[in-house]
Amino acid sequence: MNEETLKPLVEAILLAADQPMSIDAIRHLVESLDNPVSRSDLSRVLDALAADCETRGVELARVASGYRYQVKRDYAPIVMKLWEEKPKKYSRALLETLALIAYRQPVTRAEIEDVRGVSVSSSIIKTLLDRQWVQVIGHRDTPGKPALYATTRQFLDYFGLRSLDELPSLKELQDLDAINPVLDLGEQGVDSEPRGSTGGESGVVTH
């Protein structure tokens, strides 16, 4: 399949997808139409599509799980007004817990509590697990075999990150308050979920 034909097809696939698409996933769909295509061809097409967005209100972003179209951050606050219901904000306690997991993973609940100086409520852990931002990846070989928590690929996708290396270093952060604008999680509020259709509080609105 030549690039002239492949380019609009890949664009259509990405616009129709409800989640980021990896090169292999795109290739599988294209080849299901009996059109052999190489990864290098797809990479060139994706680069071309990304370049096409330079003067548009959307961008082709690469996140942990693959590629997706999303509204550029500069326009997200305006576009989000299309939804009458405002995204709910997360509490400081949840923000601190998520930040500690992201920066110290794998980490146990007790280790998080040692740093914060207060207990971590079960509702916070449940919210993070339900959002699929964290997961249990094993158990510490200590009495009680406490669960070890780490962030997920969905966490990276939600915040528009390719890897944890893109998080700001702890040296760049004076305290946990500085993580608030970095992750755009909102200020003190409730521990409930935001509207998924807006991309939540990340400031990124997906198609």
pLDDT at 172: 59
CA-closest candidate to residue 139, choices 169, 113, 110: 110
Q: What is the per-residue pLDDT for 191? A: 43
pLDDT at 77: 83
With CA atoms as reference, report the closest residue to 92 among 155, 159, 14, 185.
185
My answer on whether 61 and 106 are in the same domain is no
Task: Output the pLDDT for position 35.
Answer: 81
User: Does 183 lie in the same domain as 105?
Assistant: yes
pLDDT of residue 71: 92
Does residue 162 lie within any of the structural domains?
yes
Q: How many domains is the chain built from?
A: 2
Instruction: Give residue 185's pLDDT.
Output: 43
Q: Which among 82, 110, 130 is the end of a domain? A: 82
**Is residue 111 located within the same domain as residue 50?**
no
Q: Which residues of the chain have pLDDT under 70?
A: 84-88, 170-207
> The domain that contains 12 carries what CATH number?
1.10.10.10
Are 71 and 32 in a shared domain? yes
pTM of the model: 0.61
Q: Can you say whether residue 140 is alpha, beta or left, with left for phi > 0 and alpha for psi between -120 and 50 degrees?
A: beta
Q: How far apart are CA 110 and CA 104, in angstroms?
A: 13
pLDDT given at position 199: 40
